[in-house]
Structures are given as C-alpha cells and as structure tokens.
Amino acid sequence: MVGTNTSFDAGTISLSLPQPYLLFLGDTTQAGFAKTAFGLRDWAPDKCTGEYALPTATVSTGLPVLTPAEAHARGARSMLIGVANSGGVIPASWIPALVEALEAGLDIVSGMHVRLASLPELAVLAERLGRQLIDVRHPPLGLTVGTGRKRTGKRLLTVGTDCALGKKYTALAVSRAFAGRGLDVHFRASGQTGIMIAGGGLPMDAVVSDFEAGAAEMLSPDAAPEHWDVIEGQGSLFHPAYAAVSLGLLHGSQPDVLIVCHEPGRTQMLGTPGYALPSLEETIDINLRLGARTNPAIRCAGISFNTAHLGQEEAIAVMAEESRKLGLPVADPIRGGDQFARLVDNCLA
C-alpha cells in the first residue's frame, strides 16, 4: 500500500529538490494564481519555511513572512515560485527578488513555462555563486503519441468546470482515502504543484499537443488489476485556452471513474472574463462522451465542491441540494465527513 507521496515509474519526472522552501508569491492579487503556494502549504507543510512577496501582492498563505536572508537563516534551502499565472511567465518585476534569493544563499525552484536559465540576470549570477536554477515544468524526453491501448489496473481522473478549483486537492484526498482503506494506490501528478508535492509526475501542460495522450499513458502505465491510479486533472474541456490539455489527459488516462470538480458560486472562467462556466450536467455529459472514446466503460462517481468560501452549514446545504438534483454524491474533500465517505464509496462501487 502506498500513500500520497509515492515513487513514480520510469519515464516520468523524479525530483530531489532542495528543501525546505521559501514560497515566493510575486505580485499576485488573485488567490487562484497562487495555487502552487497554497498546495504546498496544505499538502507539504513540513517543506515550507515561510513566504515572501512583492509589496503589491495581496495574497498570503498565512505562513511567516520572511526575507530570503531570514529564511536561509531558518534553514530554507531554496525559494520556490508559488505562482501559476497565465502563460507561466516570469515578469521583469520579479527579477530583483529572485536575485535577492540567490544572493542570500538560496537556490530557485520554478514551475513556470519560462526556463530560469533563459533569464540572463539569473543565469550569470547563479553560475557565479554556485546556485541551482531548477525548472520543474518540463516534460521528459522520448514521449510518444498515444496508442489507445487499454491498460491493466484501475484509473480515476479528476476533471473540472474550470481551472484552479480543486482537481489536485481532490485527487490527493481521494488517494489518501483509498490508501486508508488498504487499497494499492498511486497519486499521479500532472501539474507542477502536484509534482512538487509528490516528488514526481509529468507536467501535461508543457507537452507538445501530439504527445498529450501518449504522455498520459506513460503517467499511468499498466498495473496490477486491483491497483488504482488517481490522476490529477488539468484545466477544463470548456476553457478557451486550456481545453486541449484536458482532452489529451482524458483520452490518454482512459479513466474508469471521473470526479467532477467545481466551486459553487463561480460564474466565469478564471482569467478569461466573458466566458461563463458550464453547468455540472453539461460537464459530466461532455467528459463522459469524450472519455468513452478510449474507455467505453467510463462513469462519473460524483462531484467535488470547493466550499472554502462558505460557512459549514451553508456548504452542507449546497452540497445536499446538488446531490439531490444530480443523483450523485457531492462532497468537499477538505471538509471530509459522511458526504466525502459516500463519494469514495461510489468511486469504488
């Protein structure tokens, strides 16, 4: 039996990062774009020393606010960029803070699309000081196109109505719940934050489109008949920018079970004003119809709600009403409780 932080099969990225981290929040003003920092805070708190942000930032993880020098004095070994912004860019306004970290004795870990070494100010300084510039969001060599071949073992994929609303948290929580029931399970990370938490995985949004399905097949290879791969979803089939990643991951994962993730009350796609979120019914329908292309037996086991913005009583009422309407378990995996237990039961039914 394995838990959440597990080893990964050959072919996927395996990491040994300098820890603990100082989490860098840049100039972030929307919590959804700081999901890397929040993910590490919530799922790997032992690896986090504190946070550091530019004066214009309004988002905080609640961890101690430290300068790079203070974090190094407390044992931090790297500053990890805790932001996942649109396009994975490193703006010029961040460079002085990254330089400060290198000068304070910290390596830099990044999950952005932009390679750290492509920034001359960082590359030259890191070389002179003997610091590491570590990029996580780059796929391994040797990826192939998908084959569509049915693989052994069982697979669960989290999908969503939008980005940054709980697909990773849901996959981690379900993995932990499966392990708690004595099942043989792996959490399969498909994004930079999940990879940093688990120590391995494959960054699907950095894969060339032709190889998306093949990369997903590599991420969840043949396994024992009773083994579960719980695969972290990416994006949304409805997102005007990221649907291609979601579809490649859906086809290549060949999931037996889907959990649809949603944040009640969110009405527009994150970062793309004017694009409304789909209904849960539409999300279930299109994921099942497209997923059936590579696994005709695919089914939806239930809904995962991110109710962090709701009080306990309101959250329970909202989930109960949606469950009644859809005829499926609806739960917040972070709140847990009987609702989440029912969702896990239905995944295994």
pLDDT in tens, 303-321: 999 999 999 999 999 999 9
**177 within some domain:** yes
CA pair distance 212, 201, nearest whole angstrom: 14
Cβ atoms of 277 and 164 within 8 Å: the answer is no
Residue ending a domain, among 86, 101, 135, is 135
175 & 270 share domain: yes
pLDDT of amino acid 13: 63
Write out the two tokens for 5: 């932080």
Residue 245 is part of a domain; what is its CATH number? 3.40.50.300
Q: Which two tokens stand for residue 259?
A: 């959990």
Quick check: is 12 in a domain? no
Residue 344 in tokens: 């896990």
Same domain, 172 and 125: no
Would you call 257 helix, strand, or coil by DSSP? Answer: strand
pTM for this model (two decimals) = 0.88
252 with 311, same domain: the answer is: yes
* 172, 180 Cβ separation under 8 angstroms: no
Burial class (CB in 10 A: 0-12, 13-18, 19+), 207: buried
Would you write out the chain's pLDDT as a tens digit for each of its 349 residues?
233 333 334 345 667 889 999 999 999 998 888 989 999 999 999 999 999 999 999 999 999 999 999 999 999 999 999 998 877 889 999 999 999 999 999 999 999 999 999 999 999 999 999 999 999 988 888 899 999 999 999 999 999 999 989 999 999 999 999 999 999 999 999 999 999 998 889 999 999 999 999 999 999 999 999 999 999 999 999 999 999 999 999 999 999 999 999 999 999 998 898 999 999 999 999 999 999 999 999 999 999 999 999 999 999 999 999 999 999 999 999 999 999 999 999 999 9
| 280 shares its domain with 193 | yes
CATH number at residue 100: 3.40.50.720
Q: Are 303 and 264 within one domain?
A: yes
Domain boundary, last residue among 78, 107, 135? 135
Give the Cβ contact number of residue 178 at 10 Å.
24
pLDDT of residue 6: 35
pLDDT at 84: 84
Q: Is residue 149 part of a domain?
A: no
CB 232 within 8 A of CB 304: no
DSSP 66: -
- Cα distances (angstroms) measured from residue 133 to each of 4, 82, 215, 284: 26, 15, 25, 41
Q: Please enumerate in sequence order all residues whose Cβ is within 8 A of that of 183, keeping only pairs 6 or more positions apart, or say none.
A: 1, 226, 228, 348
Instruction: Quote the domain boundaries for residue 216.
Output: 154-348
The pLDDT, as a whole number, for residue 2 is: 30
For 128, the enclosing helix (H) or strand (E) is helix 120-129
Q: Are residues 177 and 324 in the same domain?
A: yes
Residue 165 belongs to some domain of the structure: yes
How many residues are present in the chain?
A: 349
> Do residue 162 and residue 299 come from a single domain?
yes
Closest C-alpha to 24, from 113, 100, 86, 87: 100
Of residues 50, 108, 120, the one with CA closest to residue 81: 108
Q: In this structure, is residue 317 part of a structural domain? A: yes
- Of the residues 102, 135, 168, which one is the last residue of a structural domain? 135
Same-domain status, 272 and 316: yes
Whether residue 279 is contained in a domain is answered as yes
Check whether residue 122 and residue 41 sit in a common domain: yes
pLDDT in tens, 237-293: 999 999 999 999 999 999 999 999 999 999 999 889 899 999 999 999 999 999 999
* H helix or E strand, kind and range, residue 109: strand 107-110
User: How many structural domains comprise the chain?
Assistant: 2
Alpha-carbon distance of 6 to 229, in angstroms, equals 11
Q: Which residues pair with 186 in a beta bridge?
A: 229
Phi, psi of 86 (to 5 degrees): -65, 125
Are 231 and 343 within one domain?
A: yes
* Residues 217 and 281 reside in one and the same domain: yes
Per-residue CA distances from 262 to 167, 174, 279, 322 (Å) = 9, 16, 10, 11
Say what angle helices 167-180 and 337-348 make with each other, to 10 degrees.
Answer: 80
Output the CA angle 161-162-168, nearest 5 degrees.
Answer: 95
- Edge to edge, what strands does the sheet with 107-110 contain? 48-52, 21-24, 78-81, 107-110, 133-135
- Under DSSP, the state recorded for 265 is T
Does residue 171 sit in the same domain as residue 72? no
Instruction: Say what the pLDDT of residue 12 is.
Output: 59
* CB-facing half-sphere around the CA of 176: CA atoms within 13 A: 14
